Amino acid sequence: MGPHDRILGSSPGAASAGRRSVTRTTGRSVSRRQLIGGSTAGALAAFLAACTGGGQTSRQSVAAAGGSGGALQWWDQFRPLTKMLQNDLFTPFMQSHPGVKIERRQMDAPDLGQALQVGRRSNQMPDVHSMAGLGGISPAALVSEGWFQPIGKLADFAGSPLGDQLYDGVHRFNDEIYSFPPFSGRWHDAVPWYNTALLKEAGVDAEEGPGTWDELREYARKVTNGTEGDVYGTVVPSKEAEYLQNLVHRLAMAAGAPGPGAIDWKTGDYVFDSEPYVQAIEFLVALQKDKVVHPASASMGARDGRARWAAGQAGIYLWGAWFVGGLLVDEPEAVERGVGTWHLPCPTSTRNFVYNGAQAGTFWVSSQSKQAKTAAEVMLQMTTKEFQLKLASAMDQPPALAEVVAEAEVHAAYRQCVANFQDDVRIGPVPEVGNPAVWQVLAEMRDLHPNLGDIVQSVLTGSTTDIAGELKRFNDKISAERDRAIKVVQEEKGAKVDRKAWVFANWDPKKDYDQQAYAGR
């Protein structure tokens, strides 16, 4: 999702350790406590000064939502989907519904979050929007705070092809459907993408993907040493702590960590200080010691890293499924030169799964919207096989009906990537589904620093070498913070929640944790 700078949900870090990030770019963001507790005047002034992806201020974007002559306003961060949404969703709907006008604004995730916060305060919200840039807050929290209105009685989402993917506590609240997952939950954002020309020049047999981390290191060394010019085996953009945090979460899962969110579902304990997390960070350090990482990585964001890869300066880059779609938008010549993908390797030949929770809703109808029925009817079109095929063709995050990718018009590398996800990814537990009061705990939890991303950043820049010690200190802090938050919501809000809300004793690491699993918990 998102200019590829994003993707859809919340960060798997400090307070939102039970959920997985969908944000691809970092920058200014709205914290959970600001969102739930209200923002200061100074913070709002900063939001108003923020620039959107269209070069406007947040104030101008908000004003546009209320001054478009009755047009249905739609805001999101999905840059690779721009043409598809306009040509295959909005235009056909407007043609079949005379008098309906839909206007969409695409912004980078941080700017979208700020614009939404300003719009909320000024009663100028768009009719439909995504949650990118809203600080990883649970949808349940925003539903409780009155941000959204239900859509299940306005259009038949329960009877749609995605009806069996609707979860209580994720899409359905108090028996009312508020959203749906147009995208699949079976994905991760550490896909190894490679430049076929550079690997061929380096004598690497790209068809034989690296099965282990050591093999990936060997491939990176061959690219660095076996190609002409200033070419490096890989690029690890380290400017943005969130990219590093998400990367280490995925690598740790490949090393055997549970997920999502660094929670041991058998005990409910955080495991940031476990051996898989140490190994994951040590692997990134080893790449640096091998001198195969692009030397400018420390100054790069995720999109910068992709641009350097596209320019032929690095052979391998770990990012999400949206990689190809993003290249086709911004650097199509790189796709023409050749791009391929592998399974995410593991430390040893033993294969471990990467985990995601059930995919959250992507688009929500604002409680301020006067066009909720129209908005719901537009959104319902996204559940059809026809639209899911078009969604697949945009090559962003895989569509919810992932099977349509096999027949969609997509690049071979994207098709392979989605096929790999079916083998490599399993759906893990989401605490809010098991106990809706969990969101109150997550909202109460304070952001802790240094968090996982900060720690990885410090290690890669040489500010610290005590990987195990830093992880242990963070694990102790976040555990104590969760205990504090639980006590607060118990005593002040009467919430019926305790540490057991994070325990899923019937979790089978080899299987999806589905709706039946919640029922049998």
Q: What is the DSSP string of 253-293?
A: HHTT---SSSEETTTTEE-TTSHHHHHHHHHHHHHHHTT-B
Rounded average pLDDT over 479-495:
97
Place 63 in a pLDDT band, splitting at 50, 70 and 90.
low
Give the CA angle between residues 294, 296, 302 to the nearest 5°.
Answer: 85
H or E stretch including 232? strand 232-234
Provide the pLDDT for residue 354. Answer: 98
Task: Tell which residue, 170, 191, 183, has the closest CA to residue 354.
Answer: 191
Instruction: Report in angstroms the alpha-carbon separations of 400 from 17, 88, 246, 362.
Output: 23, 17, 22, 11
Q: Which residue has the tokens 């010691």?
A: 289
Residue 344, CB-side half-sphere exposure with 13 Å CA sphere: 30
For strands 232-234 and 172-173, give the pairing.
unpaired
Query: Across the chain, what does the average pLDDT equal?
Result: 89
256 vs 326: CA distance, rounded Å: 30
Average the pLDDT over each of 60-69, 173-182, 225-234, 440-449 and give the range with the smallest value: 60-69
Domain limits, the chain: 32-186+359-412, 191-356, 431-519
Return the closest-CA partner of residue 129 out of 152, 106, 150, 151: 106
Taking domain 32-186+359-412, whether its CATH number is 1.10.3190.10 is answered by: no
- Confidence at 138, pLDDT banded by 50, 70, 90: confident
Find the mean pLDDT for residues 256-283.
Answer: 97
Number of H helices, E strands in the chain: 22, 14
Percent of the chain with pLDDT over 90: 79
b (16+ CB within 10 A) / e for 173-193:
beeebbbbbbbbbbbbbbbbb
33 pLDDT band, cuts 50/70/90, is: low
3-state SS class at 426: strand
- Asked if the model's pLDDT at residue 267 lies above 60, the reply is yes
The CATH superfamily of 191-356 is Periplasmic binding protein-like II (3.40.190.10)
Do you know the residue count of the chain? 521
Domains 32-186+359-412 and 191-356 share a fold: yes
Q: What is the pLDDT of residue 64?
A: 52
pLDDT digits (tens, 9 = 90+) for 443-469: 899 999 999 999 999 999 999 999 999
Q: Which residue is it, tokens 């709205």?
A: 30
pLDDT score of 140: 86
